[in-house]
Amino acid sequence: MIPTFGNTATVSEVVAALRSFGAAIVTNAANSDLMQVVAAELRSGFDECALEEQSAFDGGRTNRFNQVLRASPGAAKLIEHEWVVAVADEILLPHCANYTVGSMTAIEILPGEDGQALHRDDTIYPIDLAGMELQIGVMWAINDFTAENGATRVVPGSHRYLRSWHLPSLGEWLPAEMPNGSALFYLGSTWHGGGPNHSRSSRIGLINTYCLGWLRQESNQYFENPPSIAKQFSPSLRALLGYTPHGSGDDEIGTFVGECDGWLDKPPRAAWRDERGQVGGEDNVTEQVGS
């Protein structure tokens, strides 16, 4: 079984399991009311997809789309959920000054879908650095995930295999069974994939990835959430989307990248950041994205 914790667990327990197993679940991390709101908001997005994104990798009976915040304002609460930030801080901040959302993908696996090819998400970056995770993934169960309806499959311990080395035993996957509102955390190097749906109803999830702040994001968040939209978001969400440079130039760790003349005109850089280096100063960033 994938290490599974209640929402009263400590962050260090969850992170220890994540590091050791490659994945960990926190059940009921978000409340059911929020999940119902997000499920309703995502519905129209799925209906518009009408299986448009079909491909061998994405599946022939899976709806998916990336512009999640346009469809679902409620999803913002999941993207910067306290559990997510707490876990991402532990895994990513040792290697960067601040991290960003790499991608957001709403996924509806319809009845009859086959299992997705198992894969690791961090192969978008052509390097393997032992001991440094480039990204993490968080799969939110928008409805209940069961082995029958296509719960994400995870290969335990598979994060320990460097790409250039050899492959883990991909047959040894486990289903991430979890009630709605739960979050499956998995490392960028962990092999996983959507399960086959043998049930009569769809399985709905939202995967958000978070990458080191000095890497290019998997999905271009400035197009997915341009300033005209991002100005309605909280400063902390904007910072997560990349509306804040990486580092300050004064950090021990991390280069100052992603700068922009407009932002550099603003008052001291330190004011853009909270103690985790994530949050832009509200006034500064609001002015910038609104301009």
Ligand X SMILES: O=C(O)CCC(=O)C(=O)O
**Which residue, 116 or 189, is less far from ligand X as judged by CB?**
116
Residue 4: closest CA among 154, 109, 108: 154
**Which residue, 1 or 253, is less far from ligand X as judged by CB?**
1
Per rule CB under 6 A, count of chain residues that contact ligand X: 9
Q: 156 by DSSP, 3-state: which?
A: coil
Sketch the per residue contact string, 201 through 240, with ligand X: x for CB under 6 A, - otherwise. Answer: ----x-x---------------------------------
As a whole number of angstroms, the distance between CA 80 and CA 38 comes to: 14
Least separation in angstroms between CB 192 and ligand X: 5
**Which residue, 188 or 247, is less far from ligand X as judged by CB?**
188
Sketch the per residue contact string, 79 through 108, with ligand X: x for CB under 6 A, - otherwise. Answer: ----------------------------x-
Least separation in angstroms between CB 190 and ligand X: 10
Rounded to the nearest 10 degrees, the angle between the axes of helix 82-92 and helix 11-21 is 50
**Which part of the chain contacts ligand X (CB under 6 A), choosing from 163-171, 189-197, 243-251, 254-262?**
189-197
Give the torsion through C-alpha atoms of 22, 179, 29, 63, to 10 deg: 80
As a whole number of angstroms, the distance between CA 71 and CA 181 comes to: 19
Structural contact between residues 179 and 90, judged by C-beta atoms closer than 8 angstroms: no
Q: 276 by DSSP, 3-state: which?
A: coil
**Which part of the chain contacts ligand X (CB under 6 A), choosing from 22-30, 47-55, 191-199, 259-267?**
191-199
Phi-psi region at 50: left, alpha or beta (left = phi > 0; alpha = psi -120 to 50): left
| Interaction of residue 192 with ligand X, rule CB under 6 A | yes
Q: Is the dihedral of CA 63, 69, 70, 71 positive or negative?
A: positive
**Which helix (H) or strand (E) element contains residue 153?**
strand 153-154
Least separation in angstroms between CB 147 and ligand X: 12
Question: Where in 128-187 is the site for ligand X (CB under 6 A)?
Answer: 139, 152
Q: To 5 degrees, how large is the angle CA 136–CA 138–CA 143?
A: 165
**Which residue, 81 or 203, is less far from ligand X as judged by CB?**
203
| CB closest to ligand X, residue no | 194
Least separation in angstroms between CB 176 and ligand X: 8
State the amino acid at position 31 in one-letter form: N
Choose, by CB under 6 A, the member of 22, 45, 193, 277 that binds ligand X.
Answer: 193
Q: Which residues bind ligand X (CB under 6 A)?
A: 107, 116, 139, 152, 192-194, 205, 207
